Amino acid sequence: MEIVELKKGIYWVGAIDWNVRDFHGYSTPYGTTYNAYLILDEKNVLVDTVKAPFYLEMLGRISEIIDPSKIDYVIANHVENDHSGALPQLVDRVGTPTVITTERGRKGLEKYFQKSLKWRIVKTGDALSTGHRTLSFIEAPMLHWPDSMFTYLKEDRVLLPNDAFGQHFASVQRFEDEVEEGVMRHAAKYYANILWPLAPLILRKVDEVVKMGIPIDMIGPSHGLIWRKDPGRIIQAYVDWSQGKANRKILVVYDTMWGSTEL
């Protein structure tokens, strides 16, 4: 398998779902990805897992980089099964890594899997030192589930926001600058179907992150392509969409029973 390195010691180890055509009740004609990220340091960290049927694909990617049993922590940014589904199999394979999540995340995972796990519960402002790296946590409730959170890699300036800033788009490329055409259209459809009802919360969360003063060089969402060329572009797009900013266009909708209506 091809090894995909975001920055030195940070790897994409997710899975590509070429065949899914319905996700959360809307069409996904281009498939999707389930993104997981492996961080190597004195303590090794896996951020999120994948949908259960894709466990072996994820495990294969991890195994190309390290012995999976050397994973010390698994960060569960979100409990939904497309991100946590492979967690029970992973725990059975690697032993009992410490699972880092929010309190709501712990409750959700316990109900899903009925499995004894080692927990570390975090909230906004908490951090994990892995040796040469600092991972900070930002709670993001209702973006788009109550348990959701972001993970920020301070020294690398990488934000891993789970279901924010994603797209349902399967490709052999991993970065948005490799598939420039159409990426924003996929991101807009994703936003409209998953996050648009939560627009006020998005604006507050973006404002909170801006006030934290954290520089962001790269955004690794849980679905689709990774934003590395200009991550500020998708952040600004979320602000614009959440504020209801419109392009200078007019949509004319018409209907005809007998085919007699013409433009």
Do residues 23 and 168 touch, judged by C-beta distance below 8 A?
yes
Q: If we measure between CA atoms, which residue out of 221, 220, 168 comes closest to residue 190?
A: 168
* SS3 assignment, position 243: coil
Query: Is 30 a residue of the active site?
Result: no
Query: Is 163 a residue of the active site?
Result: yes
Say which of 17, 48, 57, 80 is annotated catalytic. Answer: 80
Strands of the sheet containing 158-162, edge to edge, are 127-129, 134-139, 149-153, 158-162, 218-221
Query: Is 82 a residue of the active site?
Result: yes
What is the four-CA torsion angle of 211, 101, 104, 23, rounded to 10 degrees? 90
Say which of 17, 57, 82, 139 is annotated catalytic. Answer: 82
Query: CA 163, CA 90: separation in Å to the nearest integer?
Result: 21
Say which of 11, 163, 186, 238 is annotated catalytic. Answer: 163
The contacts of residue 115 (CB under 8 Å, 6+ apart) are: 88, 91
Say which of 55, 73, 83, 144 is annotated catalytic. Answer: 144
Query: CA 36, CA 218: separation in Å to the nearest integer?
Result: 15
Say which of 17, 78, 83, 156 is annotated catalytic. Answer: 78
What is 120-152 written as a DSSP string? Answer: EE--TT-EEE-SS-EEEEEE-TTSSSTT-EEEE
Query: Is 186 a residue of the active site?
Result: no
Query: CA 246, CA 99: separation in Å to the nearest integer?
Result: 42
Tell me, what DSSP letter sits at residue 219? E
Query: Is 80 a residue of the active site?
Result: yes
Query: Which residue stretches of 103-261 are H helix?
Result: 103-113, 183-190, 199-212, 231-242
Question: Which amino acids are annotated catalytic?
Answer: 24, 78, 80, 82, 144, 163, 190, 223
